[in-house]
Amino acid sequence: MPVAAVKDQPGVQSQAKFVPGPILLLGAPGAGKGTQARLLMDAWRVPQISTGDLLRELRKDPEKSASPLGVEIRQLMDSGRLVTDELVQAMVAERLSAADTRNGYVLDGFPRTLAQSEWLDAELARVGGVVPVVAVTISVGYTELLRRLTGRRNCPLCGRIYNVYSQPPKQDSVCDVDGTALVQRPDDSEDVVSQRLKTYETLTAPVIAHYRQSGRFAEVNGELPVDAVTRAVADAIVRLRS
């Protein structure tokens, strides 16, 4: 579904002037979190804040790379070491101070842990005038996630993506566009996917518990059609803000 179409969906159109505030979308790999994030960003005109994007931007932007924070982060990355929570948090805090976050934003890849969730709550409270984060998880069953991820095949020539279960090519194992043999990414094998899902569940469980206990959490069925999931997510956010 085109991103712009979210504006015309029942339950979303009436929220065009809604101020969503900070939103954390959660979902296992294959749950459709990225698709839903883009739709909500377009509907409510808020940015997506991804720690991965921030790190890539820092390396590409000479000014940011030369700042004291940028130098420290770049040195860690260049040496192959992990960027510490403290530095990631400082980077996120800097991004949250930008003017385009005034009405809200969709968080991607942060917070990943309970400690990061607690830091974010404290940071928003410290700044003042900002509503707290609300979290919505897009829930998809294990079997369906396996079908979505292990069934993916892509064309190495044109980049088109298929799924052998839900969106197969017209001719088995070859691209409809150019006839190139389709390939499966190594990280889409069943063993790797299973481990990715277990890792996600382990990391995310404390984060979900944190927001659930604070009354700022909702769960929606991610196995519905895309537009139905979008409406459910939007409705959940509005309800949590009421």
Say which of 56, 102, 185, 198 is annotated catalytic. 185
User: Has 147 been annotated as catalytic?
Assistant: no
The active-site residue, picked from 33, 74, 95, 231, is: 33
* Torsion angle, alpha carbons of 118, 123, 126, 127, to 10: -150
Q: Please state, in angstroms and rounded to a whole number, the distance separating the CA atoms of residues 36 and 25.
A: 8
Catalytic annotation present for 241: no
> Among candidates 18, 9, 49, which has minimal Cα distance to 239?
18
- Candidate list 152, 153, 216, 231, residue with the active-site label: 152
Which amino acid, 186? P
Q: Which one is catalytic: 7, 64, 112, 147? A: 112
Integer Cα distance of 117 and 110 in angstroms: 8
As a whole number of angstroms, the distance between CA 140 and CA 222 comes to 5
Catalytic residue among 38, 64, 196, 212: 196
Q: Can 112 be counted among the known catalytic residues?
A: yes
Contact 174, 182 (CB under 8 A): yes
Q: Is 160 a catalytic residue?
A: no
Q: State yes or no: is 17 an active-site residue.
A: no
Q: Is 218 exposed, middle or buried (0-12, 13-18, 19+ CB in 10 A)?
A: middle
Amino acid (one-letter) located at 33:
K
Active centre residues (catalytic) = 33, 112, 152, 185, 196
